[in-house]
């Protein structure tokens, strides 16, 4: 395999760092262009200090030639400057977008040709504009590069080691650190769940650079359920605490929020979001390989155990919050008032 010159815009945290590690491991010439405040680049990669908030912050890397660029930006002005400066010196541009760009997501059509939300006009300023900002970034890339030179990758939930959001690490950590004999869980055992290991996505991004694979691709983990995911989390944690299910309505009434943020329960969608299954057949056919979820959760737990600030951080409940909620749930646990049917995932699901 020929050695590929890859520029990773970022490359010092989570997906960017995982892509850098994967590319270095496959013998490529990798440079990370970042501010350097999120950490150091992987060993074996070069580093160029850049600030994409500066009009010509990419000037140093724009003076070189690149076989491929990997960009995970969410700010349209950053992408506008990148494609302006790098299009003349870059063979292939890989932009990591999101499945959120689809107008019907979640619960609607999400094949790669589906209608997207309207692009953001202006700067990205917060989570509410995330999808529109990514659409704007996609449009900037495709306007600057001819279709054979562009890959748009639209992931669903990414997890594993390095996931500071806690969405993949909270449950293994909580079962490893229960506040008592039970762990509070949402009573949505059949809700679909897909977690794509960041390392699997990173490996595929490098393969795209190697093969100059063009087009738009969804990327998601193997479809499973919340019940199976919690069962695997309990198994990798090696703890004996049993799940204590609470209904969505009870959790919402008691100030617990879905998915992400303070006083939250990860993976749970609440009542407002329709459960979605992200299809990614084209990506799998094009070489995306996905490791067992058990491995992802076990390695996410190892990462959490090594953190200076233990969970919850981006998502989850504090110990005090969980104790308070369990006491309230058991104190009002008459039929129809919040306590779900107790379940412990059978060994076949663990």
| pTM given for the model | 0.93
Q: What digits encode the pLDDT tens for the residues 231-268?
A: 999 999 998 899 999 999 999 999 999 999 999 999 99
Beta strands in 158-212 (DSSP E): 158-159, 182-186, 192-193, 196-197
Q: What digits encode the pLDDT tens for the residues 177-203?
A: 999 999 999 999 999 999 999 999 999
Domains of the chain: 5-155 (3.40.50.720), 170-194+223-275+291-349 (no CATH)
**Are 63 and 50 in contact, with CB atoms under 8 Å apart?**
no
Average pLDDT over residues 271-284: 84
Q: Is the pLDDT of residue 214 over 80?
A: yes
Q: What digits encode the pLDDT tens for the residues 75-110?
A: 999 999 999 999 999 999 999 999 999 998 776 667
Closest CA to 325 of 191, 186, 168, 167: 186
CB atoms closer than 10 angstroms to residue 310: 12
**Are 158 and 198 in contact, with CB atoms under 8 Å apart?**
yes
């Amino acid at each position: 395999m020929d050695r590929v010159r890859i520029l990773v815009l970022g490359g010092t945290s989570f997906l960017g760092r995982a892509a850098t590690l994967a590319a270095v491991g496959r013998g490529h010439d990798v440079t990370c262009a970042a501010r350097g405040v999120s950490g150091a680049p992987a060993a074996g990669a070069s580093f160029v200090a850049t600030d994409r908030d500066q009009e010509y912050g990419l000037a140093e890397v724009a003076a070189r030639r690149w076989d491929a660029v990997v960009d995970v930006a969410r700010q349209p002005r950053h992408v506008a400057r990148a494609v302006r400066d790098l299009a003349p010196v870059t063979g292939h541009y890989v932009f990591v977008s999101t499945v959120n760009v689809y107008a019907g997501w979640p619960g609607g059509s999400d094949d790669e040709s589906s209608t997207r939300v309207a692009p953001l006009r202006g700067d990205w300023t917060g989570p509410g504009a995330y999808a529109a900002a990514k659409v704007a970034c996609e449009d900037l890339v495709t306007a600057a590069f001819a279709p054979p030179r562009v890959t748009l990758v639209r992931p669903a939930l990414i997890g594993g080691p390095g996931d500071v959001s806690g969405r993949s690490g909270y449950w293994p950590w909580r079962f490893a650190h229960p506040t008592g004999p039970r762990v509070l869980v949402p009573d949505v055992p059949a809700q679909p769940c897909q977690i794509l290991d960041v390392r699997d996505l990173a490996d595929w991004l490098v393969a795209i650079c190697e093969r100059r694979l063009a087009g738009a691709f969804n990327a998601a983990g193997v479809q499973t359920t919340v019940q199976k995911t919690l069962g695997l989390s309990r198994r990798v944690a090696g703890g004996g605490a049993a799940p204590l299910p609470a209904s969505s309505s009870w959790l919402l009434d008691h100030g617990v929020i879905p998915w992400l943020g303070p006083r939250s329960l990860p993976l749970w969608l609440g009542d407002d979001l329709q459960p979605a299954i992200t299809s990614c057949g084209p990506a799998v056919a094009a070489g995306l390989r996905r490791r067992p979820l058990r491995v992802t959760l076990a390695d996410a737990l190892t990462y959490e155990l090594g953190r200076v600030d233990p969970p919850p951080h981006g998502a989850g409940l504090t110990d005090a919050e969980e104790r308070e909620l369990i006491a309230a749930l058991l104190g009002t646990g008459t039929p129809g008032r919040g306590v779900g049917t107790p379940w412990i995932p059978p060994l076949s699901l663990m």
